[in-house]
Amino acid sequence: MEEKLLLISVVTPSYNQAQFLEETILSVLNQDYPYLEYIIIDGGSSDGSVDIVRKYEERLAYWVSEPDRGQSHALNKGIGRATGDILFWLNADDICLPGAFSKVAEAFSQQPPPRIVIGQAYIIDHEGKLLGQRESQFTSWADYATRKCDIRQVAAFFDRKLFNELGGVDESLEYAMDTDLLLRFTRLHYPLIINEYLAAYRKHGGTKFKSNLLPGYREADMIRIRHLDGPELENAYRDWSARHWFLLAISFDTRNSDRLPCLRNVWRMKPSVFFSIHFWLVPVRILLRWLISKFRA
């Protein structure tokens, strides 16, 4: 008896991403996996996105372009339309890699079947050039919640029934709804991590998180602390977050106007970090590396 292929539902929320949208659409439609439904929820774009979507509407299961209440609302609209066994959320500036869906379907066919499959991802720039990797590793829920390991939404595929059991995307969140979703789902279901590169995350100045770095990270702090049980886990996360805010404050990529707010967040998360010798060794090392590079140049 021939094994039934699992239907993969892909939901893309989009708003004024015409620069990247066609590449995203084609990365889904050109997969070698035939059992696929693709849903695009556009928030009423005015940059030509609708014309791009219309080019491919015969190959889409559903699409709409209308004002919505933001990315989380758009995702829930698309998830509500999805009928597949497997659900994948792909932002309108990211891409799937060739062969990704076949690899995911094979992973979900294991017995007992996993509820979540997460692969590896590349980082690309606005032109599609490779910048690096976004690796996924999951050792335990506590480690993930306190940032001792990390998993990537851009390469995460879910059993569609999870959304019925545990709820959809939290529409009160603007930036870190993926973190909240993964924390809720992985708390009850250990993900299957595969060493296959499934997607590419596009890093560019126009991303919502990049444009709103401080509120994005503050929202992520709020979400993780809300999920953590007990002072030990919360203290571990606050320690990580304080150090992360400090690295942002001294990063060459951070705007000067954001440096003081970053330091305020160090104090908000864990004031004692300011009095750690390891804390002050970080900028000294960075300064020394910078001076050495200037001397060699």
Q: What is the pLDDT of residue 286?
A: 58
Which tens digits make up the pLDDT trace of 150-179? 999 999 999 999 998 999 999 999 999 999
d(CA 245, CA 248): 5
d(CA 293, CA 84): 53
Residue-range domains of the chain with CATH: 8-209 (3.90.550.10), 229-296 (no CATH)
Q: Give, in order, the Cα–Cα distances in Å from 223 to each of 54, 111, 184.
A: 37, 33, 11
> Which comes out higher in pLDDT, residue 5 or 196?
196
Cα–Cα nearest to 192, from 136, 89, 137, 116: 116
- Examine the pLDDT at 232 and tell me if it is beyond 60: yes
> Which comes out higher in pLDDT, residue 212 or 102?
102
Q: Across all residues in the chain, what is the average pLDDT?
A: 91
- Examine the pLDDT at 291 and tell me if it is beyond 70: no
- Examine the pLDDT at 284 and tell me if it is beyond 70: no
- Examine the pLDDT at 1 and tell me if it is beyond 50: no
Percent of the chain with pLDDT over 70: 90
d(CA 181, CA 167): 9
d(CA 120, CA 134): 6
**pLDDT band of 253, cuts 50, 70, 90:** confident
Which tens digits make up the pLDDT trace of 172-227? 999 999 999 999 999 999 999 999 999 999 987 765 555 678 999 999 999 999 99
Which tens digits make up the pLDDT trace of 119-144? 999 999 999 999 999 999 999 999 99
- Examine the pLDDT at 278 and tell me if it is beyond 80: no
d(CA 277, CA 94): 40
- Examine the pLDDT at 56 and tell me if it is beyond 50: yes
